[in-house]
Amino acid sequence: MLALLPGWFVRIKDGALVNQFLMAIMVTIPVLNFGMLMGWQSPMTPLLQSKDGPAPEPISDETISWMASLTFLPPVFCGFLVGDLADRWGRKITTMITSLMLVTSWSITLFSLRPWALITSRIISGLACAGCYVVTPLYLKEIASDNIRGALGSLFILSQNLGYLVVYIAGDMLSFAAVMWLCTAIPVIHLLAFLPMPETPVFLVKQGKLKEARATLAWLRNTSVDDKNLEEAVQQLEREEEFSKSMQKATWKSIVQDKTTFKAFRIAVNVMLSQETCGYLVVLMYAGSIFDEAGRSIGLKLSPNKQTIIVGAIQLLGSIVASCIVEQTGRKWLLAGTSLATGLSMLALGGWFYITSYDIWLPGWVPVFAMCLCIFADAAGYQPVPYVIVSELFSFQHRGMVTSFVSSIDGLSDFLQTKAYNPLLNLLGIHWVFIMFSIVCFLGTFYTVMWVPETKDRTVEEIYALLEDGRTKEKRKDVENGKEVSRL
């Protein structure tokens, strides 16, 4: 029976990777809470807009629109700041600051539901968004053994989708006040529980704290500090840090001037742009209308909260699948396969709405199936895999800079999509919107197949060798001094 399970799952059962997964869960709790914050608006909006609701006065559609979009605006400007904090103060401190921002955001909403408070809360949550999307992928990459980097990296999106589902269920079963206290309590508990958690070994070596780095590695790998393999791992981190210090300080100029690094940078930007502009947000926004359309022909009658719970469950299922298979399939083909599936489902949605606009009958299960396939495929690869690829494409000195830049692009893309959704819908019609996004997905699939390298089980050095000449190399030679160097 164990032979059917992923290798990393068996090693967890044997205790070899327990601490790494425990650490990964702790690191992603702010992401879970941010998912709750994003999902909170769906079940709570009808209450906020009700005359008998908890708000002093019904909240307008305009305020709700700004609440949805302003969350993504701070990351556009603060992504670089968060990346710099992570490199200066460490991943642990920056993660705790992220939780503090979430506590602040929920506290404002807990004590005031006036429009100014709701909007201010969302702006502050945008700072937490920047923290989640910049420091969490770095943390996960730097605590994971090479053979489970993908599995741990995919926990990022899994945690976010779990947050969506938790708040959807809580919104359906609990009172407004109970949901608010639940959402506020999670980052408070995380702040306290995260205090004894260690910093990443990579950052500790960068700070010259070799004993602490060794102890942290021993704990993460569930072994003793005298383990010979541990000694080799610490020495490798030291060599990488020495090489980083021997190079000029990482700047954007150094990224542009090195052709291979710049090629990796272009790949990182393109895979993230494809992910962020695939129309996934539009599908989520239009899920209620798709359920309503289906209900007319197949008798599917669900309350809005039940609809969101189904969507959240599909998202979570896709994320679980991604965590289980990413180490078997590799990054490249999982990304290509899920982007293709997302594109086909978008095309099916667009075609269904286009044909039915001419009063031609088509079965109502078609858009529901296409929507479910889109949500599942996106969560199973199209959303999490780009974060894994970006974290594996760059050495330590460039990783924070590029992740911050990508986070800013993501925030700008999400802000524009949420604000432009209704104007785009009125201008083109929902069918052309879906067809347009399907084209984006197909282009992303083509780009992935043609130019994105497989990063699974490869060092940065080996990945760059592939980018340079298309064949795997064990080492690169430093042309100037003839020494073997690492680009990890």
In this structure, what are the phi and psi dihedrals at residue 175, rounded to the nearest 5 degrees?
Answer: -75, 165
Reply yes or no on whether the pLDDT at 264 is more than 60.
yes
pLDDT of amino acid 298: 59
Closest by CA position to 204, among listed 159, 252, 241: 241
pLDDT of amino acid 288: 67
Dihedral of alpha carbons 229, 235, 241, 247, sign: negative
Closest by CA position to 103, among listed 86, 121, 130: 121
Q: What is the average pLDDT value for the chain, to the nearest integer?
A: 82
How large is the average pLDDT for residues 93-120? 94
Least confident of 147-161, 209-223, 226-240: 226-240
* Band (300; pLDDT cuts 50, 70, 90): low
Dihedral of alpha carbons 85, 138, 144, 453, sign: negative
pLDDT of amino acid 473: 43
Least confident of 30-44, 71-85, 223-237, 265-279: 223-237
Least confident of 97-101, 120-124, 287-291, 408-412: 287-291
* Band (299; pLDDT cuts 50, 70, 90): low
pLDDT of amino acid 195: 92
| Cα gap 270→252, rounded to integer Å | 17
User: What's the pLDDT tens digit per position in 145-191?
Assistant: 877 877 888 888 889 889 989 998 998 889 999 999 999 999 999 99
Residue, of 413 and 9, whose pLDDT is higher? 413
| Cα gap 147→249, rounded to integer Å | 30
DSSP 8-class letter at 380: I
Provide, rounded to the nearest whole percent, the portion of the chain with pLDDT above 70. 87
How large is the average pLDDT for residues 426-441? 89
User: What's the pLDDT tens digit per position in 239-258?
Assistant: 766 666 655 666 777 788 88
Least confident of 42-46, 115-119, 175-179, 313-317: 42-46
| Cα gap 381→209, rounded to integer Å | 37
Dihedral of alpha carbons 224, 92, 86, 209, sign: negative
User: What's the pLDDT tens digit per position in 304-318?
Assistant: 777 788 888 998 999
Please tell me the total number of residues recorded for the chain in this structure: 488
SS3 label, residue 457: coil
Reply yes or no on whether the pLDDT at 481 is more than 50.
no
CA angle 321, 218, 193 (to 5 degrees): 65
How large is the average pLDDT for residues 33-43? 88
Q: Which residues fall within 8 angstroms of residue 266, CB to CB, at 6 or more apart?
A: none
| Cα gap 57→50, rounded to integer Å | 8
pLDDT of amino acid 327: 76
SS3 label, residue 193: helix
Domains of the chain: 11-226+234-469 (1.20.1250.20)
